Amino acid sequence: MKVPKNSLRKIVRFLNNPDEDGGFWLPNIQRPFVWSEEQIYRLFDSILCEYPIGTLLIWKTRGKIRRRKLIDNYRQEYRQRLSDFYVPEDDTKKCLVLDGQQRLQSLYIGLCGSYEGKELYLDILSGGASAPDDIKYKFDFLNSAEARFPYLKFKEIVFSNDDPVTAAETIIENAGRQLSTDERKKVSRHVGLVFKTFHSEEGIVYQEIDSTDNKDLYTEDDVVEVFIRANSGGTRLGKSDILFALLSSSWDYADKEMELLLEDLNQHGFAFTRDFVLKTCLTLLDHGARYEVLKFRKPGVREQKVALDDLSPRITQLRQRLQQLQSTRSELEGSLSDKRVELADMETVTCYVSDLRNLLEESPFPERRSFIKSFVKDVEVTGNQVLLTYTIPMQPHKTKGELINVPLIGHYGGEGGTRTPMPFGT
């Protein structure tokens, strides 16, 4: 097995480029890109800290293997649209990434593209002492309009045609302010570090499985097995990723059909997943819904076909039932929102105030206290000011009620406190 090395600056030129040893591509057994912005920042921080970032695993082949491009200008919505990046099958030489997709995709986004329309910037004055788990060199995805010194577009430093000294001097001159001696030294030191880590031929190492001269040396089943074992670390594969990789090796265009099915099922705001579909398939094949890789290793299981034309109506029925429940819920929420309380008019409030004044002036202290506690919710004293929070019972809007005569003020008691002579609806 060969173990080539290359600079990080050069390796991204291999991605999607058939003129560079066939180019680096992603086999369709690979899941979508899942790293967050924070994980991308940590990768670039690790590189500048000169930490090892692991070895890639590449399969060099001429086989007609289904594959797709890496994404330069990445958006999260592309996770559900991988078919947009499929490449026609051919028998030309190509390098398929079996392990290292997340790192290569992150490098491609940071050095050649963008994340959600924003490019990667480095705070050139960062890099101070930090705790072991903290980021030392600060990166951020920014729009060019919002980027201000000390944030610099990282790809422009990496791909600069100047030598490190000249590149640093140019940055200092265009800083927009006079930099201190320490800041100038930091800029020079960090530019030199970027050149060292991204230009060095020791930047990244990859193991190479080569079957270009002997197609039987590694079959697609062999490579699926290697893929599963190699991806046991890092951001771990879920069981559905492993099962789908096994399934794809014997089901042509499984990925495309799965994508179309999920797109149809989720078009009205639902979130059915590949896990749900695979568990449904296992259930229909009488193997139970529990995820077990051994189920897909059994002879004939992967070759059994659960036609999506059969599966789709069953899941669609569930979707329609959920839609009915959602519609019923919306109707209930609308009905409840109509039953809002109207604000009392000035005449009603005046009557309430008059009744309250009479009660407080004429009633004994225990009754006054009981009455006040029945509707006062909170008393907040601030200096010489008092904030009183209280409620006035009003008849709800569009609700039917029976008018009753309420006892006069002199008749006290009852669970709700003292009543006023004002008639209320129940």
Residue 262 or residue 3, greater confidence: 3
- pLDDT number for residue 385: 81
Q: Hey, what amino acid is at 202? A: E
Map the chain to HEC letters.
CECCEECHHHHHHHECCCCCCCCEEEECCCCCCCCCHHHHHHHHHHHHCCCCCCCEEEEEECCCCCEECCCCEECHHHHHCHHHHEECCCCCCEEEEEECHHHHHHHHHHHHCEECCEEEEEECCCCCCCCCCCCCCCEEEECCCCCCCCEEEHHHHHCCCCCHHHHHHHHHHCCCCCCCHHHHHHHHHHHHHHHHHHHCCCCEEEEEEECCCCCCCCCHHHHHHHHHHHCCCCCCCCHHHHHHHHHHCCCCCHHHHHHHHHHHHCCCCCCCCHHHHHHHHHHHCCCCCCCCHHHHHCCCCCCCCCCHHHHHHHHHHHHHHHHHHHHHHHHHHHHHHHCCCCCCCHHHHHHHHHHHHHHHHHCCHHHHHHHHHHHEEEEEEECCEEEEEECCCCCCCCCCCCECCCCCCCCCCCCCCCCCCCCCEC
Structure-derived torsion over alpha carbons of residues 169, 175, 181, 187, reported in degrees to the nearest 10: -60
- pLDDT tens, residue by residue, 166-221: 999 999 999 999 999 999 999 999 999 999 999 999 899 998 888 887 777 776 66
- pLDDT number for residue 325: 74
Using a pLDDT cut of 70, give the percent of the chain over it: 69
Q: Hey, what amino acid is at 67? A: R
Residues 6+ apart with CB under 8 A from 59: 27, 95, 96, 98, 208, 209, 211, 218, 223, 226
Residue 116 or residue 389, greater confidence: 116
Residue 410 or residue 384, greater confidence: 384
Residue 257 pLDDT class (50, 70, 90 cuts): confident
Average pLDDT of the residues in 241-259: 56
Residues pairing with 304 in the sheet? none
The CA distance from 311 to 302, in Å, is 16
- pLDDT tens, residue by residue, 70-112: 999 999 999 888 889 999 989 999 999 988 999 999 999 999 9
Asked if 406 and 421 count as a contact pair (C-beta separation under 8 A), the reply is: yes
Using a pLDDT cut of 90, give the percent of the chain over it: 38
**Mode of pairing for the β-strands spanning 5-6 and 204-210:** antiparallel
Picking from 158-167, 280-289, 308-317, 357-366, which range would have the lowest pLDDT averaged per residue? Answer: 308-317
Whole-angstrom Cα Rg for the chain: 34
- pLDDT number for residue 406: 44
Asked if 247 and 290 count as a contact pair (C-beta separation under 8 A), the reply is: no
The residue among 180, 122, 168 whose CA lies nearest residue 147 is 122
- pLDDT number for residue 313: 66
Asked if 289 and 279 count as a contact pair (C-beta separation under 8 A), the reply is: yes
With 70 as the cut, is the pLDDT of residue 402 above it? no
**Mode of pairing for the β-strands spanning 5-6 and 56-61:** unpaired
Picking from 142-156, 173-187, 358-372, which range would have the lowest pLDDT averaged per residue? Answer: 358-372
With 60 as the cut, is the pLDDT of residue 395 above it? no
Residue 199 or residue 32, greater confidence: 199
Q: Mean pLDDT in the chain?
A: 78
Average pLDDT of the residues in 377-394: 75
- pLDDT number for residue 300: 55
pTM for this model (two decimals)? 0.61
Picking from 83-87, 278-282, 419-423, which range would have the lowest pLDDT averaged per residue? Answer: 419-423
The encoded tokens of residue 306 equal 């659960």
Average pLDDT of the residues in 366-379: 74
- pLDDT number for residue 358: 75
- pLDDT number for residue 378: 81
The residue among 245, 327, 304, 318 whose CA lies nearest residue 276 is 318
- pLDDT number for residue 106: 97
The residue among 221, 235, 2, 290 whose CA lies nearest residue 100 is 235
The encoded tokens of residue 31 equal 């899941």
